[in-house]
Chains A and B, each alone.
Chain A
Amino acid sequence: MKAKHQRLTLAILALVALIGAGLLAAFALKDQASYFYTPSDIVAKNPEVGRAIRLGGMVETGSIRKAEDGVTIQFIVHDSEARQNVTYTGIPPDLFVEGSGVVADGRLDTNGIFVAETLLAKHDENYVPRELEGIDMTGVNKTEETLVQ
Chain B
Amino acid sequence: MIAEAGLIALWLAAALALLQFALGVIGMRADRKEYYAAIRSVAVAQGLLVTISFILLIWLFLRSDMSVALVMKNSASIKPLLYKFAGTWGNHEGSMLLWTAVMGLAGACVALFERSLNTRTLVTTLAAQAFISLGFYAFLLVSSNPFERLSPVPKDGQGLNPLLQDPGLAFHPPTLYFGYVGLSVAFSFAVGAMITKDVGPAFARAMRPWVLGAWIFLTLGITAGSYWAYYELGWGGWWFWDPVENASLMPWLAATALLHSVTVLATRDGLRAWTLMLAVVAFSMSMIGTFLVRSGILTSVHAFAVDPERGSFILALLVIYIGGAMALFALRAGTVKEGSQFEVVSREGALVANNLLLSAILGIVFVGTLYPLFVEAVTGEKLSVGAPYFNIATGPLTLILVAVMAAGPLLRWRRDSAKNLLNRISIPILITATALFLLVLLTTSMSVLALLGMALAAGIAVASFAPLWKRNLRRTPLHTYGMVIAHFGIAVALIGMASESSFTREKLIAAKPGDVVQLDNWTVKFEAVEPLAGPNWTALEARITARYGNGEIHQVNPQNRMFASAQTQTSEAALLTRWNGQLYIVLGEGDNEGRWQLRIWWKPFVTLIWYGGILISLGGLLAMIGRLRRGYVQRRQREYAELTM
Q: Are the C-beta atoms of A124 and B386 separated by less than 8 Å?
A: no
Contact: A89 with B508, CB < 8 Å? yes
B599: which of A33, A91, A146 is its contact (CB, 8 Å)? A91
In the complex, what residues of A have CB within 8 A of residue B386's CB? 32, 34, 105
Name which residue of chain A comes closest to B355, CB basis. Answer: A14
CB pair B588–A91 under 8 Å, yes or no, is yes
Measured in the bound complex, the distance between the Cα atoms of B570 and A36 in whole Å is: 27
A interface residues, how many (CB within 8 angstroms): 50
Asked if B384 lies at the interface with its beta carbon under 8 angstroms from chain A, I say yes
| Contact of A130 with B368 in the complex, beta carbons under 8 Å | no
User: Which of A13, A31, A35, A149 makes the CB contact (< 8 A) with B381?
Assistant: A35
Q: Which residues of A contact B591 (CB under 8 A)?
A: 66, 70
B383→A35 contact, CB < 8 A: yes
CA distance A149 to B364 in the complex (A): 31
**A149-B509 in contact (CB<8A):** no
Chain B count of residues within 8 A CB distance of the other chain: 64
Q: Which residues of A contact B298 (CB under 8 A)?
A: 130
Give chain B interface residues in 317-371, CB to chain A under 8 Å: 338, 341-342, 352, 356-357, 359-361, 363-364, 367-368, 371
> What A residues does B589 contact at CB under 8 A?
91-92
Q: Is B304 positioned at the interface, with any CB of A under 8 Å from its CB?
A: yes
Chain B residues contacting A124 (CB-CB under 8 Å) are 161-163, 566, 568
Answer whether residue A123 sits at the interface, using C-beta atoms and an 8 A cutoff: yes
Which chain B residues border A32 with CB–CB below 8 Å? 385-386, 388-389, 392
Decide yes or no whether A112 CB sits under 8 A from chain B: no
- Assess whether B381 is in contact with A94, with CB atoms less than 8 Å apart: no
Asked if A69 lies at the interface with its beta carbon under 8 angstroms from chain B, I say: yes
Flag if A3 contacts B341 (CB, 8 Å).
Answer: yes
In the complex, the answer to whether A21 meets B509 with C-beta atoms within 8 Å is no
A88 to B162, CA, bound (A): 25
In the assembled complex, the CB of B87 is this many whole angstroms from the nearest CB of chain A, namely: 12
Across the interface, do A13 and B356 meet the contact criterion of CB distance under 8 Å?
A: yes
Rounded to whole Å, the gap between the CB of A102 and the closest CB of chain B is 13
- Decide yes or no whether B158 CB sits under 8 A from chain A: yes
Neighbouring A residues of B384 by C-beta, 8 Å: 33-36, 54, 105, 131
**Cα A129 to Cα B384 with chains together (Å):** 13
Question: Does A140 count as interface, using CB distance less than 8 angstroms?
Answer: no
B147-161 CB mask vs A (1 if < 8 Å, else 0) is 000000000001001
A35–B599 touching, CB < 8 Å: no
Is A139 among interface residues, defined by CB-CB distance under 8 A?
A: no
For the complex, what is the distance from the CA of A4 to the CA of B599, rounded to whole Å? Answer: 62
B382 CB-CB contact with A under 8 Å: yes
Q: Which residue of chain B lies nearest to A118 when distances are taken between CB atoms in the complex?
A: B235
Which A residues touch B520, using CB under 8 A?
A: none
Q: For A10, A18, A130, which residue has the most chain B Cβ atoms within 10 angstroms?
A: A130
Chain A's closest residue to B352 (CB) is A10
Q: How far, in Å, is B271 (CB) from chain A's closest CB?
A: 8
**B586 touches A (CB below 8 Å):** yes
Q: Which of A90-106 contact B (CB under 8 A)?
A: 90-92, 94-95, 105
Main secondary structure on A side of the interface with B: mixed
Of the candidates B368, B381, B593, the one having the most CB atoms from chain A within 10 angstroms of its own CB is: B368
Contacts of A17 in B (CB 8 A): 356-357, 359-360
B393 near A24: Cβ-Cβ < 8 Å: yes
In the assembled complex, A44 has its CB within 8 A of some CB on chain B: no
Contact partners of B510 in chain A: CB under 8 A: 69-71
Which of A29, A35, A105, A146 is close to B367, meaning CB atoms less than 8 Å apart? A29
Partner of B299 from A25, A52, A92, A130 at Cβ < 8 Å = A130
Q: Does B644 contact A (CB under 8 A)?
A: no
Chain A residues near B201 (CB-CB < 8 A): none
Q: Which residues of A contact B158 (CB under 8 A)?
A: 148
Cβ–Cβ contact A149 & B304, under 8 A: yes
Interchain CB contact under 8 A, A29 and B163: no
* Chain B residue nearest in CB terms to A15: B356
Q: Which residues of chain B come closer than 8 Å to A29, judged between CB atoms?
A: 367-368, 371, 385, 389
B388 neighbours in A (Cβ, 8 Å): 28, 31-32, 52
Please report the C-alpha to C-alpha distance between residue A52 and residue B560 in the assembled complex, in whole angstroms.
31
Write 16 A-B pairs (CB below 8 A) sorted by A numbering.
A1-B341, A3-B338, A18-B359, A21-B397, A25-B363, A25-B367, A25-B393, A29-B385, A29-B389, A31-B388, A33-B371, A69-B510, A90-B599, A91-B586, A94-B569, A118-B235
Binding site for A on B (CB under 8 A): 73, 91, 158, 161-163, 234-235, 271, 274, 297-301, 303-307, 338, 341-342, 352, 356-357, 359-361, 363-364, 367-368, 371-372, 381-386, 388-389, 392-393, 397, 508-510, 560, 566-571, 586, 588-589, 591, 593, 595, 597, 599
7 smallest CB-CB distances across A and B, nearest first, come from: A70-B510, A91-B588, A36-B382, A21-B360, A32-B389, A94-B569, A130-B299
